[in-house]
Structure 1
Amino acid sequence: MIAGKKIVLVVTGGIAAYKTLILARLLIKAHAEVRVVMTHAATEFVTPKTFSVLTQHDVLTDLFSDQTQADISHIELADWADYMLVVPATANFMAKMVQGIADDAASSVVIARHTPIAIAPAMNLNMYQNPAVVRNLEQLKADGVHIIEPVVGDLAEGYQGKGRLPEPEDLYAQIEVLMERDLGTPVLTGKRVLISAGGTKEAIDPVRYIANRSSGKMGYALAQAAVQAGAQVDLVSTVQLPAPMFTNVIAVETADQMLAAMQAHFEQADIVIMAAAVADYRVANPANQKIKKDPDQKGLTLNLVENPDILAQLGAKKTHQYLVGFAAETQNLLEHAQAKLIKKQADLLIANDVSNHDIAFGSDNNEVTLLSKNDAPKHLPLTDKLTLSHQILEIIAAQMEE
């Protein structure tokens, strides 16, 4: 979505301005056309010449400079843009945005915009928590401005706190998602999607547990794709992968915990995708202390009991939800998947052969067959899991409209 887009990057006066040099380079490498506008304070941290060399465009710093060319005046630049970014966004500049003040080149370009905009606040912790700044951020959100949250880290003052600008790669990843939602054709706008990911862990004792080989990558790819498709996403997860941008992650471990989390968010969901690999059994009575080897015994017997069938329970109580299940099989793939589709009352069943090492647990790629009650099985060929997730969600969106 970034490729071919015209992006105006507004740089305001903070120490984090140096990171925008790398961000600009990342955007250009993604084949965006970038033009930069700087406040006077920003030029105290990074020179306009540096941005000019990176972007191959003149940098707008002064509305009235003799060196300012007519074709990059603030109105023409605002009209030129597909998207605007303010990185970093200082407290002063955000206050101008809230009040509609246009007293320099940067603020004038932003006020003249008619495109989506995202800002990345960066400042001292105490400034960020100031009630006036908090109010301004809330007003900007209400005005439709996307806020890329600062992170906790080392601040310029020598101590840690929330207010640090994210690293350029993280900024780029969030911007990519926002632009996909704002400029693309999101098929899940206004939908709430609930996804489970990872394999559950069932305790044997405080040290050991029963688990499976699920990495959670497919569930996380589905969550990222759903966000890019415009959905609000709740992700119930047993793994510690980097959280997909703009998702609400609920951490769980056991099947019982996953069931409780899925039930807690089920009513609000429009689409529910059970991508997690839930353990079929758990230990009936996990030991309170680590089990030690007994020299008089040649083995260890575990008494296993059946775990709740989360997909079946959700299928039995669904009302408006579109319910999706997964079938990871090593033999008789379509036969087992078709039976599961009917038994669990799912609307869609995604079947994949985990005996194939190219798409087995932990792989970055997958190949699946989709089964639904009224349609012939649809095969989606081998590709990376994010691309596959977009294909799956487009099919789900189409079926929900039928």
Structure 2
Amino acid sequence: MILKNKRILLGVSGSIAAYKVPELVRRLREQGAEIRIVLTSGGAQFITPLTLQAVSGSQVEQQWITDTVQPISQESSFGHIELARWADLIVIVPASANCMARLAHGFASDLLSTLCLASDAPLAVVPAMNQQMWKAPATQDNIQCLDKRGTLIWGPDSGVQACGETGAGRMLEISEIIEKINAFWQEKIFSKMCLVITAGTTHEAIDPVRFLSNRSSGKMGYAIARSAQMMGAKVILISGPSALSCPTGIDYYPVESAAQMYQTVIEQITQADIFIAAAAVADYRPVQAQVHKIKKHNDTMHLELERTQDILAAVAALPEAPFTVGFAAETQDLEHYALDKLQRKKLNMIAANPVGKNLGFDQEDNCLSVYWKAGKKQLPRMHKTQLAQQLLQLIYTEYQKHS
């Protein structure tokens, strides 16, 4: 795991979004990170030290939660130096407008701002505030100041806020913050490489209101795209219908049908060093989609279907094909069907996963059995983000041998 034994200091400042921090702490600890927390006086108005201590497993630093530096004993009088030296990364989450103003102007008026001055660890801020406060000239000046000094600015997001207003200023979702933290340490193994990735499902029209499709949330494909980007790749994501939002910085091509996905893949594939086909593309489509909605007159209906174009096989058959990775979702005989697909379509690698019984579809985690000509590897059940990272590491290793 990327975060194993990484020492992350979380600073919690005064924002209603502080209530989300326990979930962040829990998720980071699950990935092996060591966590220590500094709670400001403003942060303590929204969440208690006891709550944070319970989820972090360590003492929450709060002896300096007043506006002036007042160590409670000689023993703790250099606590800010100890914390400053301990941290591999400092993340202030949520970062209020007041907190960022203190950082921008070099104040040392509480424990958090003091240790930030005393530390040479990288600093990231995750803004959270009212939309009007975010766009205020003073806040924007402070952000620009922090950015010029190399502070990592993660967010904010836009949407409905706790105050009922709508706009920029929402704290990033916990999953996005974890991705940012992982990306900070992620080795950029795909630097100067292009990965074309398909995700989601496809819709094959029966009539204007009905379609044929496969079950797929797109979560695995999107996780692969985000992880590949964190690993330094230029990512082209070609996605069928999905409720997920495309990460910023990724070239995104939304499509509807298998034919549209095929056409877009063929147009983009010349750029690809690696092609990963994670989409659940429909194998069949109606021969003729009806112009108007089919009315319910009979007890039965006959629907004539025809095969869709095989995107994966078409890419693998190109004269200068990229390293091609397929996916196989199976309910039985997983290895047999995966190896058959690997050989029949002349793929470089295939990732197979069992589906059904709370596996695969619409889940946050999954497991994979990965096969290639010279071997195989089992990736146990884990969160799809972690699974994507491990799969990409494996793909990169085999790609290097192939090239």
TM-score relative to the length of structure 1: 0.75
Whole-angstrom CA distance in 1 between matches of 2:26 and 2:353? 41
Deviation for aligned residue 1:3:
5.2
Instruction: Output aligned runs, 1:110-149, within 5 Å.
Output: 110-130=116-136, 133-134=139-140, 136-137=142-143, 140=146, 143=150, 145-149=152-156
1:116·1:182 contact (CA, 8 Å) conserved in 2? no
1:274·1:311 contact (CA, 8 Å) conserved in 2? yes
In the alignment, which residue of structure 1 is the partner of 2:345? 340
Structure 2 residue 391 is matched with structure 1 residue 376? no
Deviation string, structure 1 residues 282-309 (Cα, Å, up to 9, x no partner): 33432121112455x974353x455343
Deviation for aligned residue 1:86:
0.9
Instruction: Output aligned runs, 1:162-201, within 5 Å.
Output: 162-166=168-172, 170-171=173-174, 173-183=175-185, 185=187, 187-188=189-190, 191-201=193-203
In the alignment, which residue of structure 2 is the partner of 1:35? 36
2:9·2:90 contact (CA, 8 Å) conserved in 1? yes
Instruction: Output aligned runs, 1:94-105, within 5 Å.
Output: 94-97=100-103, 99=104, 101-105=106-110
1:201·1:209 contact (CA, 8 Å) conserved in 2? yes
Change beyond 3 A, Cα 1:255–1:81: same
Counterpart AA for 1:337: L
Describe the SS at the equivalent of 2:398: helix
Deviation string, structure 1 residues 94-142 (Cα, Å, up to 9, x no partner): 3454x46234233332233333333211111122234554565466556
Counterpart AA for 2:207: D
In the alignment, which residue of structure 2 is the partner of 1:154? 161
Instruction: Output aligned runs, 1:287-326, within 5 Å.
Output: 287-294=290-297, 299-302=301-304, 304-315=305-316, 321-326=322-327
* Structure 1 unmatched ranges of 5 or more: none
Whole-angstrom CA distance in 1 between matches of 2:119 and 2:192? 25
Change beyond 3 A, Cα 1:213–1:22: closer
Counterpart AA for 1:300: H
May I ask how many residue pairs the two structures share in their alignment?
386
In the alignment, which residue of structure 2 is the partner of 1:8? 9
Structure 2 residue 398 is matched with structure 1 residue 399? yes
Counterpart AA for 2:162: L
Identity within the alignment, %: 34
1:238·1:253 contact (CA, 8 Å) conserved in 2? yes
Whole-angstrom CA distance in 2 between matches of 1:141 and 1:232? 24
Change beyond 3 A, Cα 1:140–1:201: farther
In the alignment, which residue of structure 2 is the partner of 1:276? 279
Deviation for aligned residue 1:72:
4.6
2:316·2:322 contact (CA, 8 Å) conserved in 1? no
Change beyond 3 A, Cα 1:359–1:319: same
Whole-angstrom CA distance in 1 between matches of 2:377 and 2:54? 48
Change beyond 3 A, Cα 1:194–1:117: farther
Deviation for aligned residue 1:315:
4.5
Deviation for aligned residue 1:323:
3.0
In the alignment, which residue of structure 2 is the partner of 1:219? 221
Counterpart AA for 2:286: V
Counterpart AA for 1:400: Y
Greater displacement, 77-86 / 327-336: 327-336
Deviation for aligned residue 1:17:
3.8
2:154·2:177 contact (CA, 8 Å) conserved in 1? no
Greater displacement, 127-136 / 106-115: 127-136
In the alignment, which residue of structure 1 is the partner of 2:258? 255
Whole-angstrom CA distance in 2 between matches of 1:274 and 1:13? 44
Whole-angstrom CA distance in 2 between matches of 1:284 and 1:151? 43
Describe the SS at the equivalent of 1:204: strand
Deviation for aligned residue 1:205:
0.2
Note the aligned Cα RMSD (angstroms): 4.2
Change beyond 3 A, Cα 1:176–1:301: closer
Change beyond 3 A, Cα 1:130–1:250: farther
| Among 92, 99, 108, the residue aligned to 1:86 | 92
Greater displacement, 62-71 / 266-275: 62-71
Structure 2 residue 236 is matched with structure 1 residue 238? no
Deviation for aligned residue 1:192:
4.6
In the alignment, which residue of structure 2 is the partner of 1:286? 289
Deviation string, structure 1 residues 328-386 (Cα, Å, up to 9, x no partner): 57786334421201xxxx5x231648699897767854443423xxx424253664573
1:337·1:351 contact (CA, 8 Å) conserved in 2? no
Whole-angstrom CA distance in 1 between matches of 2:351 and 2:25? 41
2:274·2:323 contact (CA, 8 Å) conserved in 1? yes
Counterpart AA for 2:134: Y
Counterpart AA for 1:340: K
Instruction: Output aligned runs, 1:34-53, within 5 Å.
Output: 34-39=35-40, 41-42=42-43
2:18·2:43 contact (CA, 8 Å) conserved in 1? yes
